[in-house]
Chain A
């Protein structure tokens, strides 16, 4: 016949040569998105929150709302 001989060898190597770098790139990209879209904003949010956080005031507010069992609202 006049057909050319098909590729007999190196089929996996050929596939890996393309897909392996692509897989690495996509994984790094996904990790980058998570880092800069999720973890960094979260870290900043916590930093911001605790900059001016007063735990005692927080506790008093919760106490007044009456959610605790060990201590009730302050008696006026």
Chain B
């Protein structure tokens, strides 16, 4: 405010929109993304602004005709009026596409790629597994579980034949 007062001493002409455009101390410049926009969304049946902002001469005359009786409008004119206000119809905007195939394909491809990476990692990055993974050690573990009769009703020990020392057929 003070700056604009000082500038008015130099002359009103100094207070031009150039000050505003330079982001000076005049009215703030509104960027286009801050203005209301048109959007085709299922949840917003009535967007903030009409689709067509700058009407052609034909459209201007059509808008004039709209001010009269609507029964006088032909079907094509009604559709033209619709398309002044809206871009896509609900049927057009909600129709599906084949994009899901691409998405699924991409997802599977990258999962596969990741599998290759993990393969390499297991081979070249990780050290050896602990000795507890040796087959002999695993056999001793299993024997101990059978001795303890782990889950003898429906689980592991119930599948073991203790008389014949083998798995039940």
Contact = CB atoms under 8 A, between A and B. Distances in A.
Interface of A: 1, 42, 45-46, 49, 58, 61-62, 65-67
Nearest to A46: B153
B153 A67 contact: no
B147 A67 contact: yes
A46 B155 CA distance: 11
Interface residues of B, number: 11
Mostly, the A contact residues are helix
A42 B155 CA distance: 11
A46 B148 CA distance: 18
A67 B75 contact: no
Interface of B: 75, 78, 144, 147-149, 152-154, 158, 162
Contacts of A67: 144, 147-148
Q: Which 7 A-B pairs have the closest CB atoms?
A: A65-B147, A49-B153, A67-B147, A45-B154, A67-B148, A46-B153, A45-B153
A42 to B, nearest CB: 7
Given A1-B75, A1-B78, A42 B154 contact: yes
